[in-house]
Amino acid sequence: MSVAGFRVRMAGAADLARVVEMERAIAEAPHWAEAEYAAIVHAGDIDTAVIRCLLVAEAEARLLGFAVGRVVGLDTGGAAELESVAVESGVRRSGVGKALCEATVDWCRRLGATAVELEVRAGSRGAIALYEMLGFVVVGSRKGYYRGPVEDAVMMRLELGRHP
């Protein structure tokens, strides 16, 4: 499938079923409860210690992928995390994942985060290469972090600075 002309936007309640369906079909995805995604969508921009976003990439009303971002402690420097990125297998390496990551990083930056962190499966060479291309650097690892299958996590960080 060609993905020219796809767009990335904030998810709404109408996207939840498609997000959960895609997430369940991707073995590497975190497999959160549907209520977790719903809480992100329904929270809005509430003044809270933890703010999260759910972004979707779509083309012609077809979900191509999604990403979840989180910002914590804006009053103490604003740590952020790229919690999850999932892209339909048929459109991987087409720019969808990159666009989702960039949009999530931009969202974190707009909220005042100074860095974005993530964990990725050590065997996900394509994802690690993408994150490195975006400026993330390896800062550590976690032995046996992932289950099903058990795999180490590579911890990565992107410094945002104070200016967009």
Domain boundary assignment for the chain? 7-116
CA distances from 68 to 2, 61, 80, 107, 136 (A): 24, 20, 11, 11, 17
The pLDDT of 54-61, averaged and rounded, is 93
Tell whether the model's pLDDT for residue 70 goes beyond 70: yes
pLDDT number for residue 138: 97
Tell whether the model's pLDDT for residue 140 goes beyond 70: yes
Q: Which two tokens stand for residue 147?
A: 């289950």
Tell whether the model's pLDDT for residue 46 goes beyond 70: no
CA atoms of 59 and 47, how far apart (whole Å): 32
CATH, domain range 7-116: 3.40.630.30
pLDDT band at residue 1 under the 50/70/90 scheme: very low
